């Protein structure tokens, strides 16, 4: 008689090994996958570069504001010092002061815009920095959990492989060879149970003679439709 119980047990073990192996593959992909962290760091770097650029612009505009302010002060001092009495020269000085104050106002407005931009960029940088810190903490915790899970699953697979070897040695070679052959084609479930005259996987009705042979368990029989090994 064929080893019905052992074949089903072997299939159950193989299914568990496959499940664990697939999970190990998933874990191997997840371990070290820090793309989101690298993306956040890149974004922060870009923001810091923009902040640095804007601060450099701020320094330049500050220098312009200071220079124009000094020129206004000097010109006003000259205007009101009493040393200039010519009306044309006085008008020229007044016109120059008006022009300089216009430049000063423009420069101060530009400076205000730059300061607002720096403030906005700094707020974004702070937000991304906090997000990065949170995600790095979460990522490290997940990596630790994945490593622990990996070790547990590897230990389980080792035990399952030992159990598989033990079970397979109790099955005649002709049956185990056929099982392995079918498993290459049907890696999910090479063995199917016959239930109510049907293959319980493809649900195709089986000829009466085949049903009797499966129940007798004298020889290995396969489903004529899906090719799985049939057991009752």
In a domain, 18, yes or no: no
Query: Which of 216, 209, 214, 208 has the alpha carbon at shortest distance from 228?
Result: 214
Q: What is the mean pLDDT of the chain?
A: 93
71 inside domain: yes
The angle that helices 35-80 and 87-169 make with each other, rounded to 10 degrees, is: 170
- Same domain? For 55 and 86 the reply is yes
**Is residue 1 predicted with pLDDT exceeding 60?**
no
Q: Could you tell me what percent of the chain has a pLDDT over 70?
A: 99
Is there a single domain that holds both residue 128 and residue 66?
A: yes
Residue 153 and residue 18 in contact, taking contact as beta carbons nearer than 8 Å: no
pLDDT of 228 higher than 90: yes
Q: Same domain for 210 and 150?
A: no
Q: Is residue 107 part of a domain?
A: yes
Q: What is the pLDDT of residues 89-130, one digit of tens each?
A: 888 889 999 999 999 999 999 999 999 999 999 999 999 999
- Between 24 and 93, the higher pLDDT residue: 24
Residue 84 confidence (pLDDT): 76
Q: Name the residue with higher pLDDT: 45 or 200.
A: 45
CATH number at residue 55: 1.10.287
Q: 132: part of which helix (H) or strand (E)?
A: helix 87-169
Number of domains in the chain: 2
HEC readout, 173-212: HHHHHHHHHHHHHCCCCCEEEEECCEECCCCCECCHHHHH
User: Under DSSP, is residue 229 helix (H, G, I), strand (E, B) or coil?
Assistant: strand
Final residue of a structural domain among 122, 153, 169: 169
Residues 127 and 178 in one domain: no
pLDDT higher than 70, residue 2: no
pTM: 0.73
Residue 22 falls inside a structural domain: no
State how far the Cα of 5 lies from the Cα of 214, in Å rounded to an integer. Answer: 13
Residue 42 domain flag:
yes
What is the residue range of 214's domain? 4-12+172-231
* Residues 150-207 pLDDT 10s: 999 999 999 999 999 999 999 999 899 999 999 999 988 999 999 999 999 899 999 9
Say yes or no: 199 and 219 in one domain: yes
């Amino acid at each position: 008689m064929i080893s019905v119980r052992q074949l089903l047990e072997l299939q159950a073990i193989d299914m568990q090994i496959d499940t664990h192996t697939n999970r190990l593959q998933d874990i191997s992909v997840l371990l070290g996958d820090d793309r989101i962290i690298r993306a956040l760091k890149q974004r922060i770097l870009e923001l810091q570069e923009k902040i640095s650029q804007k601060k450099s612009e701020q320094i330049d505009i500050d220098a312009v504001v200071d220079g124009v302010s000094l020129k206004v002060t000097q010109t006003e001092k000259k205007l009101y010092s009493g040393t200039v009495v010519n009306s044309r020269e006085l008008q020229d000085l007044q016109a120059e002061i008006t022009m300089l104050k216009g430049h000063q106002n423009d420069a101060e407005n530009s400076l205000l815009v730059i300061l607002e931009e720096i403030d906005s960029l700094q707020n974004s940088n702070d937000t991304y920095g906090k997000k990065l810190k949170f995600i790095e903490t979460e990522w490290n915790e997940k990596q630790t959990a994945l490593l622990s899970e990996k070790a547990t699953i590897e230990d389980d697979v080792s035990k399952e492989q030992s159990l598989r070897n033990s079970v397979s040695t109790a099955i005649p070679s002709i049956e185990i060879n056929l099982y392995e052959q079918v498993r290459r084609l049907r890696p999910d479930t090479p063995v199917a149970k016959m239930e109510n005259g049907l293959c319980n996987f493809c649900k195709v009705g089986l000829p009466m003679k085949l049903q009797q042979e499966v129940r007798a368990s004298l020889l290995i029989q396969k489903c004529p439709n899906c090719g799985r090994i049939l057991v009752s």
